[in-house]
């Protein structure tokens, strides 16, 4: 029985659980709350992973640069493009959430929320001061977002500055990052059960209205990702890299297909590298560095989703967010996506950080978890496409792009 269960791809099990949960919830009604504890267990397991996953992944990602000198010709350009596209992505998510308001008008009075996280920032000076952790251990215990990220970045930079003497520490964090990815994979095996219980509870408690709101979230997630690919990345390819766009996507089609089916940037990385080098003509030194670093720290689709999902949660629970909160969401979503491991389900993990920073109830995760896998597949495709686009752009800027590898513009 177990062999049969694990022989089915996880995404298929999750989709089946989603459909079954909707049917059970609609027929069972409010009684479906009796199985909500299964979903709560799943969410608790996700929250357990937040601090160690962020800490190890972010330090490992920064340390993987290998040498501060690499931050010059190749690394500097790549990281700037990662940050720029990440900011565009999260503000796009915030814009879609503000314009279409997928969670507005949903009556959630039947749901008892836990203690709502309170933002500690009352002004810009408080935000700046709070980024410096007075006690890193306390920061980890509290799960504080910005100081945890800042501390992780500083550790990674310190490892780079220590050069050969820092290599043993770097290996520890590399191993820790891999271990945490394995632990995350174990927790993700709970997803079908968590999704079934949560979506049944949502459908039974709030009815069809909640499912329609969730459906809007899924649509907006896909719209946001397609806008990033069709507008932002195409603009980079045409205006900066100056390569034929259709030829680029034709060359990357294998990586795009694998990323959508696996929902894992890390699992897609070997295919991404092969497509970049053989089909697009990106030099090995640029592709291996930029795409590998991008698979670790460049998560545009995740950043867009975090902004959109946070607004969705604020809307369904009636939380008023000001422009300062939007800024904080943009910062934490971008930095949180940098710390997201390139494996399925980490968007849910990062969500606890972003929502907690602006006081949005974490029960929002219960709403979106049911359809997260469907959205995660498109977000991963966006992440991988971003990695390939930036690798190609950097190669064009540094003269490491063999344009003969691409089909000529006349042929497309």
Parse the chain into domains and list their residue ranges.
9-411
* pLDDT at residue number 90: 93
What is the 3-state secondary structure of the chain? CHHHHHHCCHHHHHHHHHHHHHHHHHHHHHHHHHHHHHHHHHHHHHHHHHHHHHHHHHHHHHHCCCCHHHHCCCHHHHHHHHHHHHHHHHHHHHHHHHHHCCCCCCCCCCCCCCCCCCCCCCCHHHHHHHCCCCCHHHHHHHCCHHHHHHHHHHHHHHHHHHHHHHHHHHHHHHHHHHHHHHHHHHHHCCHHHHHHHHHHHHHHHHCHHHHHHHHHHHHHHHHHHHHHHHHHHHHHHHHHHCCCHHHHHHHCHHHHHHHHHHCCHHHHHHHHHHHHHHHHCECHHHHHHHHHHHHHHCCHHHHHHHHHHHHHHHHHCCCCCCHHHHHHHHHHHHHHHHCCCCCCCHHHHHHHHHHHHHCCCCCHHHHHHCCHHHHHHHHHHHHHHHHHHHHHHHHHHHCCECHHHCCCHHHC
pTM as predicted: 0.78
Residues 195, 198, 204, 209, CA torsion sign = negative
Yes or no: say if 229 and 385 are a contact pair by the CB < 8 Å rule: yes
9-411 has CATH 1.10.3860.10 classification: yes
Dist CA 176 CA 45 (whole Å): 18
How far, in Å, are 50, 189, 196, 250, 305 from residue 183 at the CA level? Answer: 12, 10, 21, 35, 23
Residue 308's pLDDT is 94
Instruction: Output the CA angle 146-346-383, nearest 5 degrees.
Output: 95
- In the prediction, which pLDDT does 409 show? 37
> Which residues of the chain have a pLDDT value below 50?
121-122, 408-412
pLDDT at 412: 42
CB 50 within 8 A of CB 353: yes
Specify the pLDDT at position 381. 94
CA distances from 140 to 51, 146, 305 (A): 6, 11, 24
The token pair at 195 is: 């999704």
Task: Quote the distance between the C-alpha of residue 96 and its chain's center.
Answer: 17
d(CA 160, CA 157): 5
Long-range contacts of 28-37 (CB under 8 A, 24+ apart): 28/200, 28/204, 29/204, 30/110, 30/204, 30/205, 31/204, 32/200, 32/201, 32/203, 32/204, 32/205, 33/201, 33/204, 33/205, 35/197, 35/200, 35/201, 36/197, 36/198, 36/201, 36/366, 37/197
Distance between CA atoms of residues 291 and 221, nearest Å: 24
Place of tokens 């891999």: 178
Residues 279 and 403: their CA atoms lie apart, in Å, by 10
C-alpha distances in Å from residue 347, one per residue of 90, 154, 273, 355? 13, 24, 24, 12
- Mention every residue, 6+ apart, whose C-beta is less than 8 A from residue 330: 87, 90, 91, 94, 307
């Amino acid at each position: 029985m177990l062999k049969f269960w694990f022989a089915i791809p996880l995404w298929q099990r999750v989709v089946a659980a989603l459909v079954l949960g909707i049917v059970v919830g609609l027929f069972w009604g409010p009684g479906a709350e009796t199985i909500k504890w299964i979903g709560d267990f799943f969410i608790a397991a996700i929250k357990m992973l937040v601090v160690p996953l962020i800490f190890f992944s972010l330090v490992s990602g920064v340390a993987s640069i290998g040498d501060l000198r690499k931050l010059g010709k190749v690394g500097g350009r790549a990281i700037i493009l990662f940050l720029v596209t990440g900011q565009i992505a999260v503000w796009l998510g915030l814009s879609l959430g503000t314009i279409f308001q997928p969670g507005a008008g949903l009556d959630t009075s039947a749901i008892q929320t836990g203690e709502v996280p309170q933002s500690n920032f009352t002004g810009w000076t408080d935000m700046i001061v709070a980024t410096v952790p007075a006690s890193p251990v306390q920061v980890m215990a509290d799960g504080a977002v910005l100081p945890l990220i800042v501390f992780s970045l500083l550790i990674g930079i310190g490892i780079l500055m220590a050069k050969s003497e820092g290599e043993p520490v770097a290996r520890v964090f590399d191993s820790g990052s891999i271990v945490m990815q394995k632990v995350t994979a174990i927790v993700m095996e709970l997803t079908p059960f968590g999704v079934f219980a949560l979506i049944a509870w949502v459908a039974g408690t709030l009815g069809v209205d909640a499912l329609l709101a969730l459906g809007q979230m899924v649509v907006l997630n896909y719209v946001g990702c397609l806008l990033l690919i069709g507008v932002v990345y195409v603009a980079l390819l045409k205006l900066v890299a100056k390569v034929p766009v259709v030829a680029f996507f034709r060359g990357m089609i294998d990586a795009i297909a694998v990323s959508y089916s696996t929902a894992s940037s890390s699992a897609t990385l070997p295919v991404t590298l092969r497509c970049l080098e053989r089909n697009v003509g990106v030099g090995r030194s640029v592709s291996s560095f930029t795409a590998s670093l991008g698979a670790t720290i460049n998560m545009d689709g995740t950043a867009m989703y975090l902004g959109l999902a946070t607004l969705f949660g604020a809307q369904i629970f009636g939380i008023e967010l000001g422009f300062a909160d939007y800024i904080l969401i943009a910062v934490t979503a971008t930095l949180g996506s940098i710390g997201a491991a390139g494996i399925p389900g980490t968007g849910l993990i990062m969500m606890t950080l972003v929502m907690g920073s602006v006081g949005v109830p974490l029960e929002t995760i219960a709403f979106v978890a049911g359809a997260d896998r469907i959205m995660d597949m498109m977000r991963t495709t966006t992440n991988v496409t971003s990695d390939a686009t930036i690798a190609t752009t950097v190669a064009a800027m540094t003269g490491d792009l063999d344009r003969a590898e691409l089909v000529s513009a006349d042929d497309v």
